[in-house]
Structure 1
Amino acid sequence: MTVARAWIGTPYQHQASTRGVACDCLGLIRGIWRDRLGTEPEAPPPYTPDWGEGGGQEVLMAAALRHLVPVPREDAMRAGDVLLFRMREGAVAKHLGILSDAGEAPRFIHAYNAHGVIDSPLTTPWRNRIAARFRFP
């Protein structure tokens, strides 16, 4: 979790992925990938903040399934899990974070518009938005 925590305070900027300079939620996960595993497996195409919400395409979910290891829902959450969120019921998944604490009061690190990279409580409303969990290979 040291790698993810090093990103806290990085300003938010759509499509960016540079620690301490700017990133969005995907950029945070991309940066952690680079720190842990080296070169990214693919360069993301240009994307809009809605992640294909208008067309109903699960673009972010498909990319996560290509490069990360899915975690079954019944498996216990653990620090380092990559969380993929649906911001509203029935919408495409379009937000990412990484679990920073899986204990009694779980928390996650994410890049959030107008806030930058922050460590937030994984409250019930956030937990209810989790569409899938993954781990780095």
Structure 2
Amino acid sequence: MRAFHPLACAAALLVLGGCSTPPPSTPSPSAPWRGSTAPQLSDEQAHDIAIHALGLVGTPYRYGGNTPDSGFDCSGLIGYVYRHRVGSAPPRTVAQLSGWGQQIANGELRSGDMVVFGTGRTPSHAGIYVGEGRFVHAPSSGGTVRLDHLQSRYWARQNASFRRL
């Protein structure tokens, strides 16, 4: 068995830590979203969400960012895509996103669903499922919005849950 290198562990924490808390000027509620429920999306809207998210791959990461011009953090990316494709703004923090919409099983995933990660009680990262086991997300400082596979070595260990919005 390999020993973990301290820098590799620190890098992994930065990936998840990038979206774990809102920017300083944003309130930091940790309770799940208690506002209005998510809209019921048609298959066409769900497909449009996935296509729009894929089109943002390569956009720079920015903590608290929520536009292509300023960059995105993970919840900012989700908010931007949903506002522009559905006309409804989801909650801003990952903790709130984890309670938005309807929880679904892994076997029920469709494009446009949300993926929420967290190894403890508090979710730490989120992305948009785009099909074929892949999701789009804004992973960390210094990175860009990218496409990753749910079953990759790293993400398969991150306790994913799925929400239908």
Structures share fold, TM-score greater than 0.5: yes
How far residue 97 of structure 1 moved from its aligned partner, in angstroms, is 0.6
How far residue 91 of structure 1 moved from its aligned partner, in angstroms, is 5.0
- Aligned position for 1:92: 122
Q: 1:20 to 1:5 in 2, by over 3 A?
A: farther
Mark the runs of 5 or more structure 1 residues left unpaired by the alignment.
45-58
Work out whether 1:71 is the aligned partner of 2:103.
Answer: yes
> Which has the larger share of helix?
2
Percentage of pairs with the same residue: 28
Return structure 1 stretches of 4+ with deviation > 4 angstroms.
Answer: none
C-alpha separation between the residues in 1 aligned to 2:150 and 2:106?
A: 17
How far residue 8 of structure 1 moved from its aligned partner, in angstroms, is 0.8
CA contact (8 A) 1:61 1:84 kept: no
CA contact (8 A) 1:12 1:116 kept: yes
C-alpha separation between the residues in 2 aligned to 1:7 and 1:27?
A: 12
Mark the runs of 5 or more structure 2 residues left unpaired by the alignment.
1-49
Please report the RMSD computed on the Cα atoms of aligned residues, expressed in angstroms.
2.2
> Which has the larger share of strand?
1
What TM-score does the superposition give when structure 1 sets the normalisation length? 0.70
What TM-score does the superposition give when structure 2 sets the normalisation length? 0.60
User: Can you list the C-alpha shifts for 1:73-115, whole angstroms capped at 9, x where unaligned?
Assistant: 26422221100001xx3252110011112x3xx1110001122
C-alpha separation between the residues in 1 aligned to 2:136 and 2:90?
A: 22
